[in-house]
Structure 1
Amino acid sequence: MMLPTESVDTRHLPPADRWPYWLEVTGRAVAPLAMTTEHAADFQGGARLIDLGGVQLTRFHYQSLTGRRTPKLIRQADPGIYQLALTLTGSSGISAARRHTMVGRDAFTLLDYGRPHQLFHHADQGGLAPAASATVVVPRSLLPLPANKIDRLAAGRLSGTEGMGALLAQHLNQLTRHPEQYAASEAPRLAGLTLDLVSALLARQLDLEAALPVDVRQQATLAQVRAFIDRHLGDPMLTPQTVADAHHVSLRSLHRLFAEEPDTVAQLIRRRRLERCRRDLADPRLRNRPVQAIGWRWGFTDKAHFSRAFRAAYGMSPRSYRAAHELARTVNPVARSDNRPPAYWPLTG
């Protein structure tokens, strides 16, 4: 069973019902806003809502709109939450406590739903392409940082392309685009990891990393190490020592960091390289690329070592694996070799 997920698309409703339905969906996903749009007569929007248990992830796309979190709405109900919103497409901005911030593409902003604020998100290309965002909603009580410190970041701009911001953006994009790749039983672990990444991002912005619990810092460092490894899989010089050096820790400290993980550092490097090789071998677009060249691409410089490692992991040689996939495509030409779900407009942002 996959993660608890709900997908919505206003286009399935009569035009007159679309905007009221959108208000209901967004109010349920986060908290009620006083929203307006020029497209209320025929509003087009969609969302994918993922419940990790205490932590909510959502991927939205919609036509241009504005929203206000008013004192009246706050008096009616303060849900005690923060929302980190990552702008994927379009242009957006937020105003709160006399602070006005433009938020460009691939940047986060922090919203406190217990305080008044105003926001807008405009679509690209004169409204032809929808605006899109990915968000994470976390209870204030779950963040291990003082609320009065976090409030300094509200309505500000946080980079989604550098450091912890880039890791959180990658994490949100992966989960909200492909929740079917995760089992429902993984929700608590994913919720914990999401909280750790959010906490680490906010702590870094506030220069409060030392105030984070040790386990939160460890999980954030693990995420950084894994991302570094994934970025450098094609480097044949990638070893536990080079990973340690890149993160300014000793090799012993790096191994200690992985002590409770299912893989050692070396095993993780090998497994991720083999996964990339397996993906490329099954890709019909790369059918003319030599098997050895695929191994080279992902850091295997010795042909015999690559073949032995691949056979040990998957029970057949790289060449046999490619041939099996070629045969499968011949027998069933409509089969998708990459196992990705078909793309459809509402969730491609």
Structure 2
Amino acid sequence: MLPETVLRTDDVAPDIRFDVWREAMAATMSPMHISSPHSSDFWGHTRLLTLDDVLLWPVAMQASRYRRTAELVRKGDPELYHITLVLPGSGRLKVDHSGRRHLSTVNDLYILNSSQPCDVEVEENELAVAIGVEIPRNNFPPTAERAIGRMLGHRISGQDGFGAVLSPFLSHLVSRNSAHRPSDIPRLKRILLDLVTGLAARELDAEPSLCTETRRRNTFLLMRSYIQRNYHDPGLTPRTVAAAHFISPRQLHRLFEAEGITAAAYIRGRRLAEARRRLADPAQYTTSVQTIAQRCGYTSAAHFSRSFSAAYGMAPREYRELEHRQQLDTELRSLAPPATAGRDPIPA
């Protein structure tokens, strides 16, 4: 589990909730003038997760405004890049930074630099639901900083290109914290930095300026994300993946080989994992095995059955029945009355 701290304004007396929130946000991002039409009884909830010197903080909060002025920058600068991913359930965010203004909506990303003034406002009567990320700028080489610098204040889609890889990665980190160990932190941080660098470079066609290893990792992450989104297409093959990204099958093979797997094996594993999840899903118990196979990209039920049996040691129907029985047993145990002690209770 990644180190985590939780802040809920509900845990604080109403008359000091907004003051506590302002102090926490200033410590999390950088000193700002923070205001809200709900300051008399503010509501906000955030978790602070750390990846070495990188901070992630999923947040839900009432309408408020965050202004970092030139005067505050002069007084002190933590030299951070701040990234926001706007999540479902959020209102629009008005962003003014680096001479650019835009409205960020659900699935958008934007990047701020703590060394420059900014003004971000959640529209009145709306909630902000988002993931914030604070990354010290010294984590990036000068070429990456130049690329990121040119993206400041832009509205970036979280559903295309590297945005479509970075967004689910951030969501996974904050929603599956318990799945990670402290020993995972260096690798998770490295992936995050590569994705941010790749996002800026790809948006600005600056990718040739990145080092070879970063370009390789970024390209592999794009391929992997593409496969994860298109596993259900029976026409998905290593050749079509390569063609969709304008590289040769040989190049694709080398990218996956560097990660210790083949592209064909990764596609097969993604399909089988999804089929296994669907077979174990009680809501899909009446859906035929053949239909599930088709929804996972298989055109032949026999081929699916052979592949599934080879991967998991039993046929799809056998696996489904085993999971179904285990789920029923768990439900029955939860309904059973608690066992009584072996002797009479002490009388009152």
C-alpha offsets along residues 100-126 of structure 1, whole Å, 9 cap, x if unaligned? 332233222211111122211126xx3
Structure 1 residues 146 and 331: alpha-carbon distance in aligned structure 2, compared to 1, 3 A threshold: closer
Higher alpha-carbon Rg? 2
Over 3 Å counting, the alpha-carbon distance change for 1:334 and 1:65 in structure 2 is farther
CA offset digits 1:166-223 (Å, max 9, x no partner): 2212221222222223333222111111111111111123321100111111111111
Structure 2 unmatched runs, 5+: 335-348
SS at match of 2:59: strand
**Equivalent residues of 2:148, 2:197 under 8 A apart:** no
Give the alignment of 1:93-132 within 5 angstroms: 93-122=94-123, 126-127=125-126, 130-132=127-129
1:328-339 superposed matches below 5 A: 328-333=326-331
Correspondence for 1:62? 61
Q: What is the aligned length?
A: 331
Task: Give, in whole Å, the separation in 2 of the partners of 1:92 and 1:296.
Answer: 41
- Answering whether residue 132 of structure 2 is matched by residue 135 of structure 1, we say yes
1:1-20 to structure 2, matched below 5 A, reads 2-20=1-19
SS of the aligned residue for 1:326 comes to helix
* Residues 77 and 114, structure 2, Cα contact 8 Å, conserved in 1: yes
1:80–1:114 contact (8 Å) kept in structure 2: yes
Question: Sequence identity of aligned pairs in percent?
Answer: 37
Over 3 Å counting, the alpha-carbon distance change for 1:215 and 1:72 in structure 2 is same
RMSD: 2.1
Give 3-state SS (helix, strand or coil) of 2:82's partner.
strand
Partner letter of residue 240 of structure 1?
A: P
Gaps of 5+ in 1: 337-349
**Is 1:310 equivalent to 2:313 in the alignment?**
no
Alignment of 1:144-183 (within 5 A): 144=141, 145=143, 147=145, 150-183=148-181
Q: Distance in 2 between matches of 1:330 and 1:96?
A: 55
Which string of whole-angstrom CA distances, capped at 9 and with x for unpartnered residues, describes residues 261-305 of structure 1?
132111111111111011101111111111122112112233333
- 1:326: Cα distance to partner? 1.2
- SS of the residue corresponding to residue 120 of structure 1 reads strand
Between stretches 58-67 and 17-26, larger displacement belongs to 17-26
Give distance in 1, aligned partners of 2:317 and 2:2.
Answer: 35
Instruction: Quote the residue 2:343 is aligned against.
Output: none
Structure 1 distance, partners of 2:110, 2:54, is 17
TM-score by length of 1: 0.88
SS in 2 for 1:258: helix
- Taking the TM superposition and a 5 Å limit, the aligned residue runs for 1:1-349 are 2-88=1-87, 89-122=90-123, 126-127=125-126, 130-144=127-141, 145=143, 147=145, 150-333=148-331
Given that 1:54 and 1:191 are in contact with CA atoms closer than 8 Å, whether structure 2 keeps it comes out as no
Q: Secondary structure at the match of 1:95?
A: strand
1:99 partner amino acid: R
Contact 1:63 1:122 in 2 (8 A): no
TM-score after normalising by structure 2: 0.88
2:49 aligned counterpart, secondary structure: strand
- Alpha-carbon distance change, 41 to 313 in structure 1, aligned in 2, over 3 angstroms: same
Q: Give the whole-Å Cα distance in 2 for the aligned partners of 1:157 and 1:258.
A: 32
Q: Distance in 2 between matches of 1:232 and 1:149?
A: 30
- Secondary structure of the 2:153 match is coil
**How far off its partner does 1:73 sit?**
2.8
Structure 2 Cα separation of the partners of residues 35 and 334 of structure 1: 52
